[in-house]
Structure formats: structure tokens, C-alpha cells
């Protein structure tokens, strides 16, 4: 795999998060969206960030949900620029500082977390913007595939031809690759249109965009 050139983003920092107390979803969302995430953006190398939810309907639409990532409810992605090492250090130092100030949510567990190098980008021609601009365009959700390293990744060009897909970025570390497709239609409608490779997949499914103060997905389970 080769690093993408001509893109200021070099790394995506992912957190696949489980809420360990079902009563704490609202407080977790309030904390993360109104306190925790805004504090990250003043960092020099933090280009952007967003978090998505695996609603009960999204969870039911997962094609693959392996043991490690099966419990997750949310995925956060921060996009980082050069200087990457300093950005990662300051990002972690800020996390510790907020924890020490009791500004950290305790009823959460990161099932998979860390930096992944940006290795490929693609955009649907219909949306006109560049591939580098895809994450900054408003979206209704994403479709994510987490795979073991070396497995055949989804074909980004084919996915970008599917209705509802605005663009695709792919990330990798030594152990895994992560494919993210940004969607401008209902994630549940787009999900069946995307072919997921069968090899090495740990998680594959849709996630919905989170609207501030609308955090009631888990309050009235069916």
C-alpha cells in the first residue's frame, strides 16, 4: 500500500466504542459532542472529526459483526495532518488532561482505537468535489468495513458508482484496513448496494450521522 499524496490528511484516528452501561448513552453523547470533541479541534494537526452511531436498525443491517467489534455502538474518526507524531502526542496528552480534570466519560470502552494511515481515496463524479474534500461534505452516515491486513479491500471505484455513495477513503495499519464510504442517502438504503469482500472481515455495516441533542436511539428498545 502507498500513502496518498496531495492530501493534507495523513492519518485517521479511529475509536470503535462500546457504552458499557445502557443507561449512559445520553450522557455519553452529551459529553462527547458538546465537550470532548470540540476540545480536539484547536490542536494544530487536527483537521476534522465526526462520530456516527450504530442504531438498532444499523446493527441489524451489519453483514459481519465479529466478536471483538460486535458490542460497539459508536465510531469516531479524527483526521490528522502533519506533523503527525506531534499531533498524536498532543492528542493523547489532551485526553489525559481532560481525564485528570474529570472531563472524561467512564462508562465507555474502546474496542479498537488508534491511528491508521490514509492509503486510498475516491469520489463519486456526480458530487463534483475532489476526493480530498469528501469527509467535509455533509453526510447522512457512513458504511464501514474493518478487515485484517492483507485481505482484499472493497473496490472504491465500484462503491463510488453506487447510488448514495459520495466517496470512499481507506486506511491501514500493520494489522487492519478500514474502508469508510460517506453516504448522502439513508445508510440503511445504501447498505445492500455495497459488495463486501468475504476475506478477513471483522465488521461491515452502516452507521448513521449524529444530530446534536437527538440521542434517543437506545431509550426505547423494541
Q: Tell whether 159 is covered by a domain.
A: yes
Domain that includes residue 117, residue range: 9-209
Q: Tell whether 21 is covered by a domain.
A: yes
Q: What is the residue-averaged pLDDT of the chain?
A: 95
Q: Tell whether 161 is covered by a domain.
A: yes
Q: Tell whether 221 is covered by a domain.
A: no
Q: Tell whether 116 is covered by a domain.
A: yes
Q: Provide the pLDDT confidence category of residue 1 given band limits of 50, 70 and 90.
A: very low
Report the domain count for the chain. Answer: 1
Q: Provide the pLDDT confidence category of residue 70 given band limits of 50, 70 and 90.
A: very high
Q: Tell whether 183 is covered by a domain.
A: yes
Q: Tell whether 3 is covered by a domain.
A: no
Q: Tell whether 216 is covered by a domain.
A: no
Q: What is the pLDDT of residues 179-201, one digit of tens each?
A: 999 999 999 999 999 999 989 99
Does residue 82 have a pLDDT over 90?
yes
Q: Which helix (H) or strand (E) holds 84?
A: helix 84-100
Q: Exposed (0-12), middle (13-18) or buried (19+): which is 132, by Cβ within 10 Å?
A: middle
For range 86-93, the mean pLDDT? 95
* Exposure of 62 in the CB half-sphere (CA atoms within 13 A): 23
**What is the SS3 assignment for 43?**
coil
Specify the residue for cell string 455495497. Answer: 194
Closest CA relative to residue 79, chosen from 13, 136, 19:
13
For residue 66, what are the β-bridge partners? Answer: none
Task: Report phi then psi at 204, rounded to 5.
Answer: -150, 120
Amino acid at each position: 500500500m502507498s500513502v496518498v499524496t496531495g492530501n493534507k490528511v495523513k492519518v485517521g484516528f479511529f475509536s470503535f466504542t462500546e457504552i458499557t452501561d445502557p443507561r449512559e448513552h445520553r450522557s455519553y453523547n452529551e459529553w462527547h459532542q458538546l465537550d470532548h470533541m470540540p476540545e480536539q479541534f484547536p490542536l494544530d494537526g487536527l483537521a476534522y472529526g465526526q462520530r456516527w452511531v450504530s442504531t438498532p436498525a444499523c446493527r441489524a443491517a451489519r453483514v459481519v459483526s465479529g466478536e471483538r467489534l460486535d458490542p460497539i455502538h459508536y465510531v469516531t474518526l479524527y483526521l490528522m495532518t502533519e506533523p503527525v507524531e506531534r499531533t498524536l502526542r498532543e492528542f493523547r496528552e489532551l485526553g489525559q488532561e481532560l481525564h485528570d480534570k474529570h472531563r472524561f466519560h467512564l462508562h465507555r470502552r474502546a474496542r479498537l482505537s488508534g491511528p491508521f494511515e490514509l492509503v486510498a481515496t475516491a469520489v463519486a463524479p456526480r458530487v463534483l468535489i475532489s476526493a480530498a474534500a469528501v469527509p467535509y461534505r455533509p453526510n447522512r452516515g457512513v458504511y464501514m468495513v474493518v478487515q485484517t491486513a492483507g485481505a482484499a479491500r472493497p473496490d472504491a471505484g465500484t462503491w463510488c458508482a453506487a447510488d448514495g455513495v459520495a466517496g470512499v477513503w481507506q486506511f491501514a495499519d500493520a494489522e487492519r484496513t478500514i474502508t469508510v464510504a460517506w453516504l448522502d442517502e439513508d445508510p440503511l438504503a445504501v447498505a445492500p448496494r455495497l459488495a463486501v469482500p468475504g476475506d478477513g472481515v471483522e465488521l461491515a455495516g452502516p452507521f448513521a450521522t449524529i444530530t446534536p441533542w437527538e440521542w434517543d436511539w437506545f431509550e426505547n428498545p423494541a
